[in-house]
Every structure is written in structure tokens, then in C-alpha cells.
Amino acid sequence: MITREYIVSLIDGDYAVLEDENKEQIRIARALLPLEIDEGSHLLFENFQYTILK
């Protein structure tokens, strides 16, 4: 099972740029992310779902 933590570094329209602890970035459709995200939000990717970390 893949588990990763990301920080939302940029929101660009229908996409968000997520950055992991190695500073690698991925671009993902916002439809796959929780509605409440904002730049700087911490996310957990687990079981093919993204959830907000507090």
C-alpha cells in the first residue's frame, strides 16, 4: 500500500500542484482532492484517496 504526505504548493484552476517531502511535484485534478484544500494544506494519500491532515 502506498502512503505519502503532500503539501499543496499551488492551485491553478482545475488543478493543484502537490509537493512531497523530497520536493518532487505532481499536478493533479482538483476533483480528486478534498474541496476544503488551499495552498499550504497538508494532504495524506492513502488507499487511492487524499485526505487533509491537521
* CATH code, domain with 21: 2.40.50.140
CA dihedral (30, 32, 33, 34) positive or negative: positive
Residue 46 confidence (pLDDT)? 96
**Domain span including residue 25:** 3-53
Residue 1 confidence (pLDDT)? 83
pLDDT tens digit sequence for 2-44? 899 999 999 999 999 999 999 999 999 999 999 999 999 999 9
User: Whole-prediction pTM value?
Assistant: 0.91
Cα 45–chain centre separation: 8
The number of domains in the chain is: 1
CB 29 within 8 A of CB 15: yes
